[in-house]
Structure formats: structure tokens, C-alpha cells
Structure 1
Amino acid sequence: MQLTRTLTAAFAVVALALAGCSGGGQANEAGSSQLVLGNNGDVLTWDPAEMKEGAVIHYAEAVYDPLLRKTPESKIEGNLATAYEYNADLTELTLKLRDGVTFSDGAAFDADAVKVNLEARKKGAGSASEAARAIERVEVVDKATVRLHLSEPSPGLLAALATYLGYMASPTALSSGTIASNPVGSGPYTYDSGASEKGVKYTFKARDGYWNREAFPFENVVIRPYEEFTARYNALATGQIQFMYGTPDMVPKAKTDGLTVKTVPGEWQGIILQDRAGKASAALGDVRVRQAINHALDRKAILDTHYGGFGQVSTQTFNPSSEAWVPELNARYPYDPAKARELLAAAGYGSGFKIKVSYSEGFMSPLVPIVTQYLGDVGITVEQVPVNGFANGGLETLKGQPAFMLSFSTNIPAWTDVLNKLTPTSLWNNFKYTDETVTRLLKEIPAAQGDKQAALYKELNTHLVEQAWFAPIVTQENVYLFKSDIDVTMQQAQLMPSLRFFAPAK
């Protein structure tokens, strides 16, 4: 089949949009003392317990410090907690806390504050909630020491403490219930509501006396949300922002416009076939149907055209650098329409069937018709169900859909991906599906270490691919575009590089 979207057409869209763009509209705010970021979307809440993984991390990092932090290679190191140590059976984690840190409301950061925050995360429904479940009790050993008692070993706990689980908010703001609308943290900046406009821009001013000022050299940070890629690119090209998460088809134009282009292996894109028990779509309850969907996709053609070669074909949902990755699995579902039809016929769907596939408008819109055409070629009629962006309730809409398309981050350690998508309570497993093999492996993996744990991860990954829980297309290269007046250090296994990896250009 011929793909319906080409890179040339995509270039034309961007060029046409820029041709109609004058330098007017929003003022050019960028400068040596101010960093202006274009974000993928709006921030729905300032409560770390309710924040969802993704581009929202920049909003969070401006005001909240994490207990631990990730290096550019996603290794864990100390931050507000200067040291950490597990006991022998990995069921207790002791954290030694940094002295002299305060929240922006003047309250002291100490072990009591950590306890309040972690207990609040346990009650939330955001990205931190799955990792928080493993924390059975938070013990205040002394003002500078906390001990987390775990119900079972949790391989992703340290990584979680370096992001949403570990973001420290003022205990006063948490207890008053104002944290969702008014962020108060121990982070490098404070939110300037007077210089902000919801949905348009969010302004943050550097905190006096912040303990790690040299890591955050900008006096002010401004975040502007743009859910639509072309609008975001226009803002970058005209100097209204300095940085954005881009798409592969923007790269040639960006280079012509003198922008810096960097990439890092990152997200997978494709379909989550979440109705694996066939509750809303009976066909998806048959593994042969799910396998047929995988065989129907010409991943190499989609990679070369839609993604411009920025990535690799993939049947896997884990990070290529993680312990779960099995290179051979990417050959499991070669493009084979005849095989797809054979599997459908064996499952009783020789005449095809209809399925609703939902997607978040904007981000996935160009890929959806391509997938629709490939599935249509083997008799699967896709009813496209566009939903609002996450800032407008789209996440809630996806929960009842049998299948949906999104761009999903891949993480190190792999356990973070397990918590995001594979447990019965995962944010992206809304039908709460599991099976005996997955249930067993999710118990065995946390209790193992080293080579044994890696082998169990690979067994899990292989099982998921064989059972076709998902229909990935590519593990793409995340594309970042930015102005020459800033430097950005790329970060593995995180959608957006952390704020401390941004600096004025030398």
C-alpha cells in the first residue's frame, strides 16, 4: 500500500504556517536571564499526587525538588536525600536528608515533611501512585532520616523518588488543600501567578537562597503550552519560545531555520490493545486477532516515511537500553497481510470486524489514518474516535475505549513501564487485565536481582509480545529543537530533559 502521508507534505504544512506568521502576537520573552519553553500541553493540577507522567514534568520541576535525581544516563543520585541505602531483603529504604533546605513558604524541609508528602502520594491517582503502593509505612527516624518500609521489593522505587513520587511540596499547602491550584515547594523557582495566564503562559521566578542555584542559571522560566505542533514550531521560529519537543518531519526545516536539533531514543508509538478480555470488543479477546493486527502493520515503511527514519521498528514497549529489551522480538511480526487474514479467519473473523480506536487529537492525528488504512487492508474497519487533549479531559475518555493510540515513554528501570501499563491498577491498563504468567512474573521480578532479574524481565517482555498485549510500530528518536542561545543536555528515558540540563549557550 502507499502511505497517505509524506514528509514533503508535512514540510509544506509547516512552511505554509510560517509564511502566514508575522513577528507580531506574543512578545519575544527569551533572553540570557530567562528561559522560555514550549510545552506539549497545559498543566491540569499542581498537586504532585495527581500529575501524570510526560511533558508536565517541567511545570513540576520548576517548583518542586525531588528526593533523588537522574543523571543524563538515567542513573540515580542524591538530591534532597543525600544518601540512600536498602536493607538486605530490599524491603526497607533509608534516606539521609539534606540539611538547611526550606520550602518557599519558609517551612523547614525535614523527615516530617517527607512523611507527609509520601503519604499524600499514596492517596493520589497520578503517575506516582503505583510506585507509592509499595510503601507500607514511612518511619521518621530523626529530623534528617526517614525509613520507607515496603510491602515487597520495588525495583522502580528509586526512579519514582527522582520524579513525581519524590517531589516535595510544602506540608502546609498539602494540609490546607491548596496545592492543586497554588504550588508551594522547595524547588528552584516560585510560581508567579500575577505574571501568568492559565493556558497561555506560566511564569516562575528564581528563589532567593535556593540551595542549588548553580544548577538552575536562569533568573526566570516561562512555560507556554501548545498542544498543536505547528503552532509550537511557529513560536520557536519567531523567537517566542526557545525550546520544544518536535517531530521528525520538522528536522530539515529546523536546520534551514538555524535551530539546533538533538535526538535521543525514547518513546514507542502504536496501539494499546487494552480490551484483552474482549469486554467492549469481543474480537480483541482472541490473541489471534491481536496478532493479526501486529502482522497488518508495515513498520519499516511507516518508519521510513512517517518518521523519516528517526527510530527503529519495534514490537516492544520497553526502552532499548533497559534490562527487558530482547532484540530478536522485533522480528516477531513481519509485515504479512496474508498471515493477518489467516489469523482473523481462524478466530472467526474471516469477513472482518469493526473496532473503535481512540486517540488524542493533535499528537497522533497524522499517524491514525495510516494505521487505519493498513488495518482496513486486512478487513479490520477502524472507527476513529478522536478525544480531547489531556488538558481537556481526554485521559478520562480513553479509559473505556477498547484500543487507543498514544505516544508512550519508555523508562529505565523497566519496572517503571511495568507500573505504568501492566498491573491491574496501572494508569494505562484501564480494563485491569492480567493473566497467570504476568501475575507470576510481577511477583518474581521484584524479589530477584542482577542477571536473574534481567532474565525474568526478558521472559515478561517475550510473553507480552507473543500475547500481543500491544501493537507497537516504532521506538522513535525523540526530537528536540531549540534556539542557539541555549544549551540542552539530552537525557535518556525521560520525555523532557530535566530543567537543570538547560543553560545559556557558552
Structure 2
Amino acid sequence: MVFSKVIKALLAGGVLAASVLASGVVHATTDKPAVDRDTLVVGVEKEFQNLDGLVTISGDSLRYGWQIYDTLYGFDLEGKIVPRLATSVTISPDSKVFTYKLRKGVKFHNGTQFTSKDVKASVEHILDPKSKSTRRPYFAPIVDSIETPDPYTVVFKLKVPDGAFQNKVAGYLYILPGDYLASLANPDAFAQAPISLGPYKVKRYAPGGSELVLERFDDFWGEKPKIKTLIFKAITEPVSRVNAILRGEIDVAVVLPFPDYDRLKKEAGLDVISSPVASPLYIRVYTDDPASPFSKREVRQALSYAIDTNAIIKSVLHGVGEPLGTFISNYYPYGAKKSIKAYPYDPKKAKELLAKAGYPSGFETTLNIQGDLPKELSETVAAYWGQIGVKVKLNRLTYAAFQRLNNTHASGPLALSQFTNALYDPIHPVGGAFSKDGSWSNYNNPDVEALLQKVNSVSGAQQRGEIFEQVGQILHDDAAGFFLSEYFYIYAKKKSVQWDVQKGSGFLNFRTAGWK
């Protein structure tokens, strides 16, 4: 089989490693705190890019957002929408007017009182083009006006109905202090000294984002965290992150490498968790250039048939994954059509489709890679495509460099990426990556656009789910992207740490963490 040749060649070349550990076998040495019982040290996989939670991408803010900031409504550990800074919301029958009643007596980190004017200022910060907010595409097209009839009432009036507006408020609308924002010289200044009203406030932010130290905000309106100090350390090398948790230098490690999953589970001093993050691992295709091979459906289908996703999950992801036939994860609360299966591995059919599309000898292309993803993944995909004559130049970028290209529609012709579930509604991944107005999209399908317009006026989960199932089928049939696997994060924590992983999302939530 071609699959055997591909995998054997990669194994022989050392591409598919059994473990990331550089040398020797390190075992967990202690379950005692790295610092003390008032402190939790968390090892994360990449540097922090920007502490303005309304500007930076979800993949950056998911580490600190729920610690520093708070929202009108939020998500519980299961992804259910629950009230936070608002005590209630009234929605008009046409889903165009949302009236929130706000909680009284809430303080920002600088001691000022939270009122409706802060909600309005936060939305205006998103809408201001100078802020370059990645949240802007989710609010600018729909928000008509924001009214503040009294200090504890805020009214959103929308241009068009939006059935996912509550999800957007819960996932994307961090609240900032309006007076403080107005006092800053420019929108960029907020990221240097962010203030909000979450359970933690910023104590220290290391240059380059290598470390972030948060301290408990004792005037937090809700349940006080048990941990006084949270220390996030960016440990970008997987081997170093694994060894740091084994040696007891950190208390929690996130996004650990797949090759070490089984071995880490055998460590007596650790709890190791694999958690689906409702976040497709996929290769995004730029389809909007008529001169590109990828503008042809037959080419996209050919490359889909050329990849053995089951083998990738087994050999590259070490079994920590599940086949995915479209862009809507099976771990969303609704919208996944589970009967949609991944393209079967069929290199013969792939070659036939390439020839039919006018590329009997294949072609050359470039794959840009989000640098925090396993390098073995892109190398394996390139090897599969090489078997049908498609030669791939791999361009591995740092996370920051990749996102700069991605956010300006410049990461084509192919981009290996992983999406983050921030809203618990499929409008987030589909709207961002496969809508003509999406933040990262270079895909425009009239059938998808019509369904997205339709779903905006629907607020019920069942109805929204039925529409998104249709969207998922179209994306599969059109081979709109190369869908590799459901993505799972691997976490490890000392057994003496009490911490519950957020289900169906990569967001970190340490509000209730503590020591046993």
C-alpha cells in the first residue's frame, strides 16, 4: 500500500517520533506545589501576543481571558450560557433588540464602578477600526446602536436579526472601563496595562510575552478564587514543557505533544487529560484565484482522497483524534451532521480527478503552517500529496507570524491551522473561515451565504442545528478545506491540583482551581 510506504519512510527518517523527550526517561518527581499552595504555575505552549482581550485572536486570549476579564453572560464548564455581569436579558420577538439588566456593586480592578457606559465603551472599542479588533467582524455588520437609558440597563439594537448574539456576547464581549479607555493616548495602549473586572488582575507581563503573572482581585464580585497568584510560563519547546511538569517545575502543563500521551498517563504523580476542543484541525484552501489549481473542485477533492486521515490520527496524533468530514465539529452542542464521513483514502481516484482537472502530472504549491502544531503533521500530508504528483513546499511560521498573515488573508495558497471554539455555536468557525466576509476566509459559496443569512434570524438550537448541518454537507461535498481530525488538547496536572478542564473548548478556566 502507498500508505505503508509513506508511513514507513517517515518513521525511517525520524519524522514520526515515539516521544519528544530528548534523552533518558524523566519521571514525575513530586506533586508538591512548584512555589506554594497560594500559587499555581501553568506551562503554556506559546508566548502571549497581546493582552487586549478584545483585539487579539481567541488562540491568544483563551489562556488569560477568563482570568482577567468578565462578560455580561458567560459559559459554564459544560458550555451552557449563564448570567455574569448581567442578571437578565430580554430579547425582542424579531431577535433585533437585546436589553440587559446589569449587576450592581461591581468594581473594576482600578476601583471604579461598573455601569452601562462601560459596556457601550467596550463595544465601541471593538468597532473602532484603529483598534484592529479581531472581534469586529462579529459585531460591526449587525450592531446598529447601543443605548444606556440608566446606569444598569444597556440596550443593543441590531440592524438584522442575529440568533447567535447571546453567544457572541458571552464569548467575545469582554468588558473594559470606559473612563480608563478614554484616558489612553491610543487604542493600542490598553494592551500594555489592561484593566477589567475578572477574578484576577495583571501583576507583571514579561517583555515578549514569555511570562504573565496574575494576582487575585479581592474585590471580585463573584466567588473568590482559591489561588492567590497565577503564573503563566511560555515554554514553547514541547520537550521542555513535558520535562517541566515531570520535574515539578510547573503545576499544570497545557497542549502537550501527542507522542507522550500514553507514557505520561503511566506517571503516578500526574493526572493526564485528553479533551476535545470542538476545533477542527484542517488545511484552509484559498479558492478565490481563478488561475490557482485550488479554484477547481476536482483538485480539492483529489487532494482530499489522497490523504489517509485514519493513518494520520493513528501514527501522527498517536490515536488522540477522531476523523472529521467537514468543518463543524461533532462536539458542538448542535449543527454537526454526524453522518458526514471523512473522504476515504483512494490515491487512484485522486490521480484520476487531478487528470480530469487538467493536472495529470500534478503541480507545485506551498503550505503555510501554524508553528505550534506538530511538524510531523505537515510532513505527512506533504508525503501523501507527493504520491499523486503534488509537490509541497513547507513554510513553518511562528505562531505570531502565521496569525499576521492569516488575519490579513495572506496565508495562502494553503494554510495548516486549528480553529478555537469560542462561542459554542458553529457560526464562529463557519463565519470566520468559510463566509465571504469572514476574518480568515477566501471562500465564497452562494449556497453557504444563503444559509448563513437564514441562520441569523433563527435563535432556537434545533433550528440552527438543522441549518448548519446543511452547511456542513456543502463544505464536505465542495471539499472547501482538507479536514484532518477533531482536535484534542492534552493537559497534565499534579494529582494534588484541583482543576476542571473546560469541555468542548480550548479556553483555560482557573477560577475554581486550587490545591487539594
Q: CA 1:58/1:386 → structure 2, altered by over 3 Å: closer, same or farther?
A: closer
Per-residue CA deviation, residues 260-300 of structure 1 (Å, 9 max, x unaligned), is 11122222212111x11235x61001011011111111011
- Give how far 1:338 is off: 0.6
* 1:286-305 superposed matches below 5 A: 286-305=296-315
Cα distance in 1 for partners of 2:93, 2:492 equals 45
Match of 2:125 among 107, 120, 126: 120
Cα distance in 1 for partners of 2:327, 2:11 equals 24
Cα distance in 1 for partners of 2:86, 2:298 equals 49
Equivalent in the alignment of 1:371: 381
- Give how far 1:259 is off: 1.5
Match of 2:425 among 413, 419, 425: 413
CA contact (8 A) 2:283 2:483 kept: yes
Match of 1:325 among 336, 339, 342: 336
Task: Identify which range, 338-347 or 359-368, moves more after superposition.
Answer: 359-368
Backbone CA RMSD of aligned residues: 2.4
Cα distance in 2 for partners of 1:447, 1:350 equals 45
Cα distance in 1 for partners of 2:324, 2:28 equals 41
Match of 1:394 among 399, 402, 421: 402
Equivalent in the alignment of 2:215: 205
Q: Is the counterpart of residue 277 in structure 1 residue 288 in structure 2?
A: yes
Report % sequence identity: 22
Cα distance in 1 for partners of 2:35, 2:208 equals 20
**2:209 alignment partner, SS class:** coil
Match of 1:226 among 235, 248, 260: 235
1:155 maps to a residue whose letter is G
Cα distance in 2 for partners of 1:314, 1:287 equals 19
**1:366 alignment partner, SS class:** helix
Equivalent in the alignment of 1:171: 178
Equivalent in the alignment of 1:348: 358
Cα distance in 2 for partners of 1:442, 1:90 equals 15
Runs (5+) with no aligned partner, structure 1: none
Per-residue CA deviation, residues 432-461 of structure 1 (Å, 9 max, x unaligned), is x31211221111111134444322211111
- Give how far 1:9 is off: 5.8
Q: CA 1:105/1:255 → structure 2, altered by over 3 Å: closer, same or farther?
A: same
Equivalent in the alignment of 1:477: 488
**2:37 alignment partner, SS class:** coil
Cα distance in 2 for partners of 1:334, 1:412 equals 29
CA contact (8 A) 1:45 1:180 kept: yes
Cα distance in 2 for partners of 1:135, 1:490 equals 33
Cα distance in 2 for partners of 1:186, 1:17 equals 46
CA contact (8 A) 2:28 2:246 kept: no
Cα distance in 2 for partners of 1:497, 1:62 equals 8
**2:191 alignment partner, SS class:** coil
Runs (5+) with no aligned partner, structure 2: none
Match of 2:170 among 139, 162, 184: 162
- Give how far 1:501 is off: 4.6
Equivalent in the alignment of 2:435: 423
Equivalent in the alignment of 2:85: 80
**1:146 alignment partner, SS class:** strand
Q: CA 1:232/1:496 → structure 2, altered by over 3 Å: closer, same or farther?
A: farther
CA contact (8 A) 1:259 1:481 kept: yes
Cα distance in 1 for partners of 2:24, 2:203 equals 32
1:504 maps to a residue whose letter is W
- Give how far 1:423 is off: 2.4
Match of 1:132 among 129, 139, 142: 139
Q: CA 1:239/1:197 → structure 2, altered by over 3 Å: closer, same or farther?
A: farther
Equivalent in the alignment of 1:32: 37
Equivalent in the alignment of 2:150: 142
Match of 1:47 among 43, 52, 60: 52
Q: CA 1:435/1:69 → structure 2, altered by over 3 Å: closer, same or farther?
A: same
- Give how far 1:372 is off: 0.4
- Give how far 1:103 is off: 1.0
2:358 maps to a residue whose letter is G
- Give how far 1:5 is off: 4.7
Equivalent in the alignment of 1:448: 458
Cα distance in 2 for partners of 1:61, 1:489 equals 14
**1:54 alignment partner, SS class:** helix
**1:13 alignment partner, SS class:** coil
- Give how far 1:219 is off: 0.5
Equivalent in the alignment of 2:113: 108
Q: CA 1:66/1:448 → structure 2, altered by over 3 Å: closer, same or farther?
A: closer
Cα distance in 2 for partners of 1:5, 1:405 equals 22
Q: CA 1:151/1:493 → structure 2, altered by over 3 Å: closer, same or farther?
A: farther
Per-residue CA deviation, residues 398-428 of structure 1 (Å, 9 max, x unaligned), is 4322111012234521112223212223222
CA contact (8 A) 1:206 1:220 kept: yes
- Give how far 1:198 is off: 4.2
Cα distance in 2 for partners of 1:77, 1:445 equals 22
Equivalent in the alignment of 1:498: 509
Task: Identify which range, 178-187 or 120-129, moves more after superposition.
Answer: 120-129
Equivalent in the alignment of 1:70: 75
Cα distance in 2 for partners of 1:254, 1:228 equals 17
CA contact (8 A) 2:16 2:316 kept: no
- Give how far 1:368 is off: 0.8
Cα distance in 2 for partners of 1:265, 1:285 equals 32
TM-score when scaled to structure 1? 0.91
Equivalent in the alignment of 1:92: 97
Number of matched pairs: 491
Q: CA 1:32/1:424 → structure 2, altered by over 3 Å: closer, same or farther?
A: same
CA contact (8 A) 2:41 2:230 kept: yes
Task: Identify which range, 308-317 or 419-428, moves more after superposition.
Answer: 419-428
- Give how far 1:17 is off: 7.3
Cα distance in 2 for partners of 1:46, 1:8 equals 35
Per-residue CA deviation, residues 310-334 of structure 1 (Å, 9 max, x unaligned), is 2211122212133221122115x11
Q: CA 1:8/1:251 → structure 2, altered by over 3 Å: closer, same or farther?
A: farther
**1:395 alignment partner, SS class:** helix
- Give how far 1:138 is off: 0.9
Cα distance in 2 for partners of 1:180, 1:334 equals 46
Q: CA 1:316/1:125 → structure 2, altered by over 3 Å: closer, same or farther?
A: farther
- Give how far 1:166 is off: 1.9
